[in-house]
Amino acid sequence: MASNKNLDTEVNLVPFISLLSVLICALLLSAVWVQMASLDVKQSVGSSGADIGKQISLWTRIDNKGSLKVSLKNSPRLKRSIRRKITSIRIPPVEGLVDYETFKTHVHLIKENVPDLKMGMVQPSAEVLYDDMIQVMDTLRSEEVVDLGVVPL
Amino acid sequence: MSVFNSILKNIKPTTSGVRSVLFPNGNKRKSNLAATVILTSLVDAFSILVIYLLVSLSHSGEILYVSKGMELPEAAHVNELKRTTLLKIEDSKYFLEDEEIGKSKLVKKLHTLRKKIISEDRENGVKESDLNLMIQADKKVPFKLLNTVIRASSHAGFDEIKFTVLAN
């Protein structure tokens, strides 16, 4: 006698969906929506001062009005035409704000002519905003000037 | 016209009347009242959501609370956050590990803290850890407030300063 049993089994998805719902809720609660990070700088003065010595270094002075004075120290021998362009330059502000675009272009030019440049010193004035100081350091980092220092007042 | 004639020819009369070609057994539709929910697409959506959240989950496990109203500056070329001694600047006041400290006592406190870290390392048999100071401040804070901290940390012997930022 042939039995007409239905051998097809159906997977019950309801518990699986419950599990996924709980997992999603837990992950949403613990998710990190804002990534925090740090910008590390070496100390430039004191007993633990960074070893500046005769290393090629790029000094960036930020004044209260937003202008930047960029000067290259201990640079190697360069052609006179290039030396004039990159050794010391003043970047005026744009509408009262620091001109990061011109600064980045200038640092890029210096890096092209002085590939060994790794050290950058930032020298902000008293009223310079913390954000401006960070943006200058970030711009230096973007051009692979990785060893950064902050010069205190 | 020929189609109409062929339909008329195919209609067979029955006792109850003429039978329809389209509905020969009568227009009786069995309505199924049970609705089946298709769960497959829901499971697919949930699975993708779970996988996305698992991938974007932070692996560092570091927790750093940012005070209400404090906006950290943003930067793109940053280092991974590693929890060290935290010094916050809020409303022109200094907070070392959530304890308010006067400007004049900052060097002394940092020096004491440094000694404590070194002695703890010796007790635990840990090689002297890097003495780093993490600074957290609003992006509108003027540099003169940060200058105090930088000088104090330098005098106290902290090697490195970590400025807390939001990663772009």
Structural domain that includes position B159:
74-167
Eight-state DSSP code of residue A47: T
| Mutation for testing the B interface, residue in A98, A130, A132 having most B CBs under 10 Å | A130
The CATH number of residue B110's host domain is 3.30.420
**Is B64 inside any structural domain?**
no
Percent of the residues in chain A that have a pLDDT greater than 90, as a whole number = 41
Within chain A, residue ranges assigned H as helices are: 14-30, 80-86, 100-113, 130-142
Overall number of domains in chain A: 1
Please tell me whether the interface predicted TM-score (ipTM) of this complex is above 0.85: no
Dump pLDDT digits (tens) for B56-97.
775 555 566 777 788 899 999 888 887 788 899 988 899 988
Cβ contacts (< 8 Å) between B154 and chain A: which residues? 43-49, 152
Q: What angle do CA B153, B156, B161 make, to 5 degrees?
A: 30
**B89 and B134, same domain (yes or no):** yes
**What is the separation, in whole angstroms, between the first and last Cα of chain A?**
100
**B41 and B91, same domain (yes or no):** no
Structural domain that includes position A60:
55-150
Overall number of domains in chain B: 2
Contacts (Cβ under 8 Å, ≥6 apart) of A89: A69, A70, A71, A106
Q: Which amino acid makes up residue A63?
A: D
Chain B CB within 8 Å of residue A20 CB: yes
**Is B8 inside any structural domain?**
yes
**Is B97 inside any structural domain?**
yes
Residues 52-71 of B with CB under 8 A from A: 53-54, 56-58, 62, 64, 66
**Is A35 inside any structural domain?**
no
pTM: 0.72
Cβ A62 vs Cβ A133: under 8 Å: yes
The pLDDT value given to residue B167? 86
Q: What is the mean pLDDT of residues B21-38?
A: 63
**B104 and B163, same domain (yes or no):** yes
| Mutation for testing the B interface, residue in A32, A33, A38 having most B CBs under 10 Å | A38
Q: Which two structure tokens, joined as six digits, stand for B45? A: 């959506």
* Backbone torsions φ then ψ of B36, nearest 5 degrees: -100, 130
Residue B1 has pLDDT above 70, yes or no: no
Chain B CB within 8 Å of residue A127 CB: yes
**B80 and B160, same domain (yes or no):** yes
Dump pLDDT digits (tens) for A64-84.
999 999 999 888 887 888 787
The CATH number of residue A115's host domain is 3.30.420.270
Residue B106 has pLDDT above 90, yes or no: no
DSSP for B38-65, written as a single string: --HHHHHHHHHHHHHHHHHS-SS-----
